[in-house]
Structure 1
């Protein structure tokens, strides 16, 4: 895999995987190791989580298409290894500040209050 070509996307558009078919089964031990490594990598690359979750459904009896999908994700990682976001540690010195916001609780409060008013 070190000398492989990279991919610009982690999966093909419209790809459908299934548990049944006339494909050749592969070694589940090797497939489980690859999927486990990819799941660990999801901690720093959350954008591959959907694709890794998709192939992890087939760890019991993996087929060739599942293995090819795992290899495609690995080739995508190879292609995008240089991409990153850098948040400098001294960002407050120049007046910039990194702020996060979420509005999850507002929807929950509206739903609870709406149920109480009925």
Structure 2
């Protein structure tokens, strides 16, 4: 993925996911490792938390289509590498300024049987 092209959105617009499908099943261990790493990355990049939550629903029997979504999230991270949370340490002051951002669109993503209700950052 080092030489991949970046993308400006972590998920496709109007994406419909399903646990069943005609595409091939993939190794769940590798899939779980990647999704777990993305979950850890959410600590400093909370704008991918929703996307990681969506794809983590398919860790039991991941398919090629689910793996392609994980790859898209990785391509998005590559494209937006300069974004994230910064926790500055200033030893001279008692106050810490917390800077955050989000790039989330709940409206355009559809999932079979799942509807996002809310998300707290």
CA contact (8 A) 2:45 2:85 kept: no
Deviation at residue 70 of structure 1 after TM alignment? 0.3
Deviation at residue 85 of structure 1 after TM alignment? 6.1
Go from structure 1 to structure 2 and tell me whether the alpha carbon gap of 1:22 and 1:54 turns closer, same or farther (over 3 Å shift): same
Root mean square deviation, CA, Å: 2.4
* Structure 1 Cα separation of the partners of residues 44 and 98 of structure 2: 19
Structure with higher Rg: it is 1
Superposed counterparts of 1:1-118, under 5 Å: 1-84=1-84, 89=90, 98=97
**Runs of 5+ consecutive residues of structure 1 not aligned to the other structure:** 101-118
**Runs of 5+ consecutive residues of structure 2 not aligned to the other structure:** 100-121
Q: How many pairs does the alignment contain?
A: 97
* Higher normalized helix content (fraction of residues): 1
Go from structure 1 to structure 2 and tell me whether the alpha carbon gap of 1:83 and 1:22 turns closer, same or farther (over 3 Å shift): same
